[in-house]
Structures are given as C-alpha cells and as structure tokens.
Structure 1
Amino acid sequence: MKQKTIYVEINIASDIETLWEYTQNPHLHKEWDLRFSDITYLHRLPDEPQRFLYETRIGFGLKVSGTGESIGDIRSRSSERVSSLAFASDHPLSLIKEGRGYWKYIERDNGQTAFLTQYQYETARGLPGSWIDRFLFRPLLSWATAWSFDALRLWIEQILLSELHLEASSDGGLVITSGRQWLLIGGKKIPLSAWLCGSSTVYEAYDEEMNCFSIKVHVKNRILGTLFSYRGTFRETEGETC
C-alpha cells in the first residue's frame, strides 16, 4: 500500500545563513524538532556524508532509536540550498524501517526564507504496520513536523524559547507539554522564573467514529491561571471540517 509523502512548507523572517545554522546544528535542531529528543553527530572525514544517531521518546519511559546521514548542498552566490537525508531504524518499537527526504531553503527578496521538507519512508511490521501508519502514525508525524517548523519560526523571529516534550498517551493520542523557558537576548538564553512562564499542554488524537482528529490546547500561568484554551476537530483533507 503506497502512502503519500509528508510535505511541509513555511516562510520564516530570517536570512538563509541563520536558518541553516538553526537546522543543521544538532544542538539547536533538537531544541525545536518534536520528532527527535536527541541527535548525535558522528565523526566524519572531508567530503563524507554527515552520519548521526537519533532518539525519540514515545512515552512511558520508552525510546526509539535510529541512524541517518545527511548531505548539505551549499552553492556560492545562490539563494537556494538543499540538505538531503536518509534514515533507518531496526529498533523493535520503531514503525519506520527506512526512509529518505530533503530540506530546501529558498531566500526571498522580502527578507524571508522559505523552508520546506518532503520525505517518505517504508514501514515495518507488514500489513498491520501499514494500517497503523496510514490512519494514526503518518497523520500525527505530519502534524508534528508542521508544529516543529512553526516552533522554529517562533524561535528565530521572537525572543522566547521553550522546551517541548512529546509523548504518546495511553489511548494512542499525542501529548505535547512545554518545559523550561528562556528569553533570548543578544544570543544568550536567560532562564525565566516559573511564575513568568506559560505552561502549555496540547492533546491530539484520531476519532474513528467521527473520522477526524480532535485537539485540545490549554495554556496556564502559575499566578494568573488559564491564559488560553481551545478545543476542536479537523480532517487531514484541506478545506474539510467536521
């Protein structure tokens, strides 16, 4: 069963050099990308692909690990860059067997840089794995990619940085919670006191009876209480509501 590729695109108010650093530096990358809880670059020789190890926390104290390699294409005097990626996992809990994709950077004349990704992967576990991927894992992974890209945009464009923790709930949903938060001033990370922070919780799950996704968002402050809350549903097909 052939699954469609995952594609996400966003415009960020940034020059291409800054965006490249935030996405190619593993210490910065894991700060904004929900799909990875840890990324470790391995030693390489000149002109070799950059190989790396990754880990993703899936809740209940469990982790999924894998390997990958990337090649960055930097062309002098060009407003575009491409970074290709191949990844694989033989971890017993991983639904992804192997895959590949790319990141593309396009610097615009308006001071923004378009950042886009497209990737595809082969699932493990045969037919059951393909069905789980089609109806649950792939839509959630697509959503997590889009959420991560927006977190990157907010980090670069604004002065607030927050940890994000991704876990699977007992009913198969996706739970994202915020952690420590910092102000970014002059390239320095200044920790925020707990009473200044907004604690965020996002829950998303697929409702089989309604054939759509449900989402709940709650943001609160230790002193002020609830700052924002939202509950709604959506389908993956663009323009369709439920």
Structure 2
Amino acid sequence: MSIYKNLLGESYERLHPKLQERYSFQESSVFHAKGVMSEIKGAKKWMYPFMLLLTRWNFIFPESGRDIPFDLVNRVYERPDGIEEVKWERIFFFPKVTRRFHAQMTIDSQRNVVRDYLGEPSLFYSDLIFRVTNQGTLAITSASQKLVMGRIEILLPKVLQGNVEVIEGYDDIKEAYTIHVKISNRLVGDLLSYKGTFRK
C-alpha cells in the first residue's frame, strides 16, 4: 500500500481520482512528470546570498521567473532499516541556471504525520500534515521543524521555522495536475513560492 494512502486512510478515497492515481506509487515505482511553473517568486533581494548558499544542498533557491519548465520525479524504495521512503526530485529549468529541490519522505504512523527531510544531503527536517479538502485536493502544511547537522537534529524555535503551504489538485479541463507551494517565515516574509501545472 502507498505510504500516503496508509496515512490518509478513508479520506484518501475523497481525493480526485487522478490524485489517487498519482499518490498510489509503491516500492520500485517511479512517477515522472513534466510541467511549467507559471510563476516562481524567490525571497527578498537582501536574502539572495543566503538563499544561494542553500542551493548547495539542493534546497530552496533565490531565482524568480515566469513560465519556467520543470520536472518532477518521485521514487519509492525500501531503506536498509526496512522503512519505505519516497524521494522527491523537483528540477526547475531557469534560462541561465537549473535549480533542484530534493526531499525524502517517510510516514510516522503513531503521530499521523509525514517525516520530510529537505535537501540533499538533508539540511532541514519538517513534520508535514496531509489532509483532503472538500474539493478533493490535497492540502499540506508544516509543523515541527529541525536543523539537521549529520546525525544531530536541533529543534528550531517557531520564529525561525518556515511555514509551508501546499495545495495539489487536478484540472479536468486542462487535463493536468495543479500545484501551488508557498514557503514563508514570520520574521522575513516569503522565502519561495511557485504555482503551475504538470502532466505525467
């Protein structure tokens, strides 16, 4: 069973059928899609050096743009400890540079959250809460977060955490998946946001 189907339980059946198909991947399966981000917004200009530094970990990036092509790849595999993990690879093709935003997700069934390790190698950790909306879309929000330093994980105070909001749906008219992501911080404002469509 897909780790996301296991997490969402009965509410999984309320997802749009195409989203159910999208999140049904299991071990050894790959979901590969291509699309276009109609808009990508980076952080404020004064944060550019810090955001540029984070690209070394295939994490968030400073660039902005419109109509940016991108690839999305999800791979499912079993870790040596027997836990099923989903690797997320998001690749954005800006005119002058290619940026990557990678993550590894597992399920914490006791707390009913997704464990999300961001970057490659992982630099940040975040609990993610998944829920199905009345419209059949998938809404994802962040909760507790940590700074990852090798095997050491340091809990971040809320004022330093990134607030993540994701809505993923399916447009029957365009016959395409839709995605809208926003990452912000209460001190510095928006860090990264993007919205667009993609097809398998």
TM value normalised by structure 2: 0.49
> Which of structures 1 and 2 has the larger relative contact order (alpha carbons within 8 angstroms, sep 6+)?
2
Q: Which has the higher strand share?
A: 2
Q: Which has the higher helix share?
A: 1
